[in-house]
Amino acid sequence: MKHYIVYYWLLITAAFAANIQLKDLPETTTAVSTDIVGLQIDVTGTMRDRKMTLANLAINLDPQLTAIANSSPVANQIWMWSGASNGSFLTLSANSQSLITAADYAAMRTLLSVVGTSDTQTITGKIVTRSAALSTDDTYQGNDITGLNNSGGVTQWDAVYLNSSSQWVLADADGSSTFPCRGLVTATASTGNASTVVTQGTVRNDAWNWTPGGTVYLSTTAGGLTQTAPTASGSRVQVIGFALTADILYVNPSPDIGTNP
């Protein structure tokens, strides 16, 4: 009986080490063969004087495990199968650790019509929507121009024109050559610094108090806007857009400028 206790103790210990569950085994010293999750284990045991000898221990790995075991991975690699029982380690790109090449990425962007901030895309037969319900103060949607400096300093949402030196300057309906307005600056900037100008689109400014539906004109105050058309002699009348709500303006400066007699 003690011999059998030792025999079963060894079997149970080996089973726990392999993380398997033993089935009922016969009380015998003949060869025992069992297949456990793809591993073929053959055990022949002989007990003499409380000793157990294991022989013919064979572990046969699945072809998939053999393929991986015979390969040598390095950093930033993953395994990729190329067949039912073969494959290789794939090195990920250094920048993004991506599974696709730069050429594949570019091809996918083209296929899906995805463009970045520095890309150019031709839009044909499409509808471009501008929201009349901008949810945040001091935001806009639409077309803008970047890359030019201002002269004299600007405040956010000032109306500006472009001078002969390619600089944004405050537009003024009764100034000397201070028109036409080309758009509104999107941020405050000191003189000589770059300014972005929205030339067409929707703008929200909670400091405004427009009459919805009313036309908005260039003001006789430098950089200003008004819903009252200028009437002073020699002043210019330029439509800048119209009010969608009390604080949202549709900006689309008219190229046509009238002059009061």
Over range 14-39, report the average pLDDT: 47
Pairing state between β 139-149 and 239-243:
unpaired
Pair 214, 233 in one domain: yes
Within-domain flag for 128: no
Pair 89, 149 in one domain: no
Within-domain flag for 26: yes
Within-domain flag for 207: yes
- Dump strand ranges (E) for the chain: 32-36, 39-48, 51-55, 59-60, 77-81, 87-91, 139-149, 159-162, 168-170, 183-185, 194-204, 215-218, 225-226, 236-237, 239-243, 248-251, 258-259
Which tens digits make up the pLDDT trace of 96-129?
455 567 777 777 777 777 766 666 667 778 888 8
pLDDT reported for residue 16:
41
Counting DSSP H helices and E strands in the chain, the numbers are 3, 17
Pair 168, 74 in one domain: no
Over range 191-209, report the average pLDDT: 97
Pair 67, 55 in one domain: no
Confidence check: pLDDT of 212 > 90: yes
What's this model's pTM, rounded to 2 decimal places? 0.57
Give the CA angle between residues 13, 17, 22 to the nearest 5°. Answer: 60
Pair 154, 253 in one domain: yes
Give the CA angle between residues 175, 209, 134 to the nearest 5°. Answer: 105
Pair 208, 149 in one domain: yes
Pair 152, 245 in one domain: yes
When divided into structural domains, the chain yields a total of: 3
Within-domain flag for 121: no
**What's the chain's Rg over C-alpha atoms?**
39
Rounded Cα distance between 168 and 153, Å, is 9
Contact 78, 92 (CB under 8 A): yes
Q: Which residues pair with 77 in a beta bridge?
A: 91
Last residue in a domain, options 93, 111, 129:
111
Pair 52, 87 in one domain: no
Pair 157, 248 in one domain: yes
Confidence check: pLDDT of 231 > 70: yes
Within-domain flag for 254: yes
Q: Is 80 helix (H, G, I), strand (E, B) or coil?
A: strand
Last residue in a domain, options 43, 60, 77:
60
Pair 99, 175 in one domain: no
* Among 54-63, 166-175, 201-210, the least confident range: 54-63
Within-domain flag for 119: no
Pair 194, 95 in one domain: no
Domain span at residue 107 reads 63-111
Last residue in a domain, options 60, 78, 93:
60
Within-domain flag for 216: yes
Long-range pairs for 105-112 at CB < 8 Å and ≥24 separation? none
Pair 181, 249 in one domain: yes
Within-domain flag for 122: no
